[in-house]
């Protein structure tokens, strides 16, 4: 099975200059915990609900004024839609992340694949559990 067959295709993104409040509202509306961050048509980061909490709220930043770019994670781990699921598992384990932005042949974001997605596949749940165990093992 290919990553593109399993990924979440309804990709929600946020602009880097939007506020953290706008990002949090979008996450709430769509029931998601992460948004790829765009600067125009360029993928430049990833913002998670944890980023908002730890990097902004805990630091006393005003969510109504703080742009997403100030709290986002700059390093975005990506994978290709045509790659096998085993590549997603490997990247999640190696990079210690729970989700990957999926790119098309033109390197544009088209979806997200998460550890939860991998766990839904019969026969893959064990692999997803192994990846999760690696993510939670202190280095």
Give the separation between CA 38 and CA 110, rounded to whole angstroms.
Answer: 13
Vertex 1, ends 135 and 87: CA angle to 5°? 35
The residue-averaged pLDDT of 18-47 equals: 96
Structure tokens given for 100? 């990957």
pLDDT of residue 30: 95
State pTM to two decimals.
0.85
CATH numeric code, 3-135: 3.10.580.10
Whether 125 shows a pLDDT value over 50: the answer reads no
pLDDT of residue 117: 87
Domain boundaries, the chain: 3-135
Q: Which residues of 60-82 are buried (b: 16+ CB within 10 A; e: fewer)?
A: ebebeebbbbebbbeebbebbbe
Q: Name the H helices within the chain.
A: 3-6, 20-30, 49-51, 85-95, 115-119, 125-135
- pLDDT tens for residues 47-73? 999 999 999 999 999 999 999 999 999
Percent of the chain whose pLDDT exceeds 90 = 76
């Amino acid at each position: 099975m290919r990553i593109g067959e399993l990924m979440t295709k309804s990709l929600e993104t946020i602009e880097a200059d939007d506020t953290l409040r706008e990002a949090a509202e979008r996450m709430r509306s769509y029931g998601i915990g992460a948004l790829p961050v765009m600067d125009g048509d360029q993928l430049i980061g990833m913002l998670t609900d944890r980023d908002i909490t730890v990097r902004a709220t805990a630091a006393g930043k005003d969510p109504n004024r703080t742009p997403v770019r100030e709290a986002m994670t700059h390093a975005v781990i990506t994978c290709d839609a045509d790659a096998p699921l085993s590549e997603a598992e490997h990247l999640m384990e190696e990079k210690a992340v729970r989700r990957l932005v999926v790119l098309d042949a033109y390197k544009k974001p088209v979806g997200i694949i998460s550890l939860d997605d991998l766990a839904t596949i019969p026969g893959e749940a064990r692999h997803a559990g192994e990846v999760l165990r690696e993510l939670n093992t202190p280095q």
